[in-house]
Amino acid sequence: MKESTEHQGILIRAISLLMAMLFMLPFPACSKPGEGAPAVRVSAAPDSVYAGERVICMIRVRHPEGLLAALELPDSSALAPFVLVGRNRSSSKPAPGLAEDRFELELAVFGSGRQNLPEFAILFRDSEGHRAGRTHHRPEASVYVKTLTPSGMNELRPFKPPIQPEFPILLLMPFLLAAFALAGAVLLALFLVKRKVRLFAETVDPAQVAHRKLRKLGSRLSGGLAPVECYDQLSGIMREYLERHYHIRALEAVTQEIERDLRKLGVSSFDAIMTLLKQSDLVKFADSRPSLDESLKSIRQAEDLIGSGRDGGG
Average pLDDT for runs of 10 along the chain of length 314: 53 56 39 58 89 90 88 86 90 88 90 87 87 88 76 62 74 86 93 77 76 89 87 90 88 89 88 89 84 88 80 49
Q: What is the pLDDT of residue 106?
A: 92
What pLDDT is recorded for position 20? 46
The CA distance from 161 to 179, in Å, is 35
Residue 206: count other Cβ atoms within 10 Å of its Cβ. Answer: 19
Check: CB of residue 143 under 8 Å from CB of residue 55.
yes
Strand ranges across the sheet with 54-64? 39-45, 54-64, 98-109, 82-92
Specify the pLDDT at position 34.
41
Give the residue among 250, 222, 223, 220 at the shortest CA–CA distance from 233.
220
* DSSP-assigned beta bridge partners for residue 146: 50
Tell whether pTM > 0.75. Answer: no
